[in-house]
Amino acid sequence: MAEPKNYTNHEMRWNLDGKTALVTGGSRGIGHAIVEELAKFGAIVHTCCRKESELEKCLEEWKKKGFKVTGSVCDVSQRDQREKLIEHVSSIFQGKLNILVNNAGVLIRKKSIEFNDEDISTLLGTNFVSGFHISQLSHPLFKASGNGSIVFISSIAGAMAISDCAIYGATKGAMNQVTRNLACEWAKDNIRVNTVAPGFTRTDMLGSFSEPGDKEGILGELVDRNPIKRKAEPSDISSVVAFLCFSAASYVTGQVIYVDVIVLITCTGAINQMTKNLACEWVKDNIRVNTVAPGLTRTSINVTISL
């Protein structure tokens, strides 16, 4: 048996060694990147997808890389399959879970007037209901482990209008709100809940935004307006997810973190506004500019708040 690793306090804050994780929809795109990111930091990961052949190919790939990853076939839009998934996860992780990433999702693009009941049911069931229900089912496993981190994968479509994405955007907006509610309700159980909302990311799903006869479609226009002049890569998203799972992020909960290169500019205040301006001006020099806005933090600064 290998000797247990001895970590410094700093190392403990920035690794996932031995942590158990469930990532839904982990066979491709952002989900695939998240599985690999967590596994590289030492997590023991279980993932699921709908296609067995796709899953087996991924599992073989991860085995060659030395990652501790298992998988099962599951259509998360089906309630009975979600229940079986968590039963299986509970059995392989001895009734405990540290990390849940609700990544599985679908996109149906139509004009608002063209959506039918089946479209709406599919989008709601896969994008919103599945993640909420899996979180409910996982709650006892998080409590048994003593702590937990839930990360929903949302989209900028949940906060801004994107062409032909009315229902998709609504499911992501609902996800953003339930993140805040669960963060408040489950904080007492030492469970943190956050959402990562990517912008346009290089995945198979992105192809649905290309118009016939136009290789890039509206994407080319969006990239032109993007100061960094490129689409996001799945690894740009997975790195943020990993951060939220570290103990170093133990005070981060209830947040919707947009990974979209200032597609959304919604903050106010002088420092916040300066951040936006500098981010635009200095990106050509490969300089990134961001602002961190803490809440009430235990420091030597004494602040009197009048309500």
- Sign of the Cα pseudo-torsion (201, 71, 147, 158, in order): positive
Min mean pLDDT across 21-25, 185-189, 238-242, 287-291 is at: 287-291
pLDDT value of residue 272: 64
Beta strand spans in the chain (E):
20-24, 44-49, 69-73, 99-102, 148-153, 191-198, 256-259
pLDDT value of residue 166: 84
Distance CA 214, CA 34 (A): 31
Convert the pLDDT of each residue in 56-88 to its tens digit: 999 999 999 999 999 999 999 999 999 999 999
Report CA-CA distances (Å) from 176 to 33, 97, 143, 159, 169: 22, 22, 23, 9, 11
Angle at 180 between CA 120 and CA 208, to 5 degrees: 35
pLDDT value of residue 4: 47
Indicate if the pLDDT at residue 214 is higher than 60: no
Indicate if the pLDDT at residue 222 is higher than 80: no
pLDDT band at 202 (very low <50, low <70, confident <90, very high): confident
| Top-confidence residue, 3 or 61 | 61
Short-list 184, 106, 95, 104, CA closest to 146: 95
| Top-confidence residue, 305 or 263 | 263
Convert the pLDDT of each residue in 110-154 to its tens digit: 888 898 999 999 999 999 999 999 999 999 999 999 999 999 999
pLDDT value of residue 218: 58
| DSSP 8-class letter at 15 | -
Convert the pLDDT of each residue in 4-20 to its tens digit: 455 567 778 899 999 99
> Residue range 95-104: average pLDDT?
98
pLDDT value of residue 268: 46
| Domain boundaries defined on the chain | 9-261, 262-292
pLDDT value of residue 96: 98
pLDDT value of residue 307: 44
92 Cβ partners below 8 Å, 6+ apart? 46, 70
φ/ψ of residue 129, rounded to 5: -60, -40
Residue type at 128 in one-letter notation: F
> Residue range 23-33: average pLDDT?
96
Catalogue the active-site residues: 168
Indicate if the pLDDT at residue 207 is higher than 80: no
| Top-confidence residue, 87 or 306 | 87
Cα dihedral: 197, 61, 108, 242 (round 10): -10
**Cβ neighbours, 10 Å, residue 265:** 14
Indicate if the pLDDT at residue 206 is higher than 60: no
Q: Is the CATH number of domain 9-261 3.40.50.720?
A: yes
**Model-wide pTM > 0.75:** yes
pLDDT band at 105 (very low <50, low <70, confident <90, very high): very high
247 near 189, Cβ under 8 Å? no
250 Cβ partners below 8 Å, 6+ apart? 192
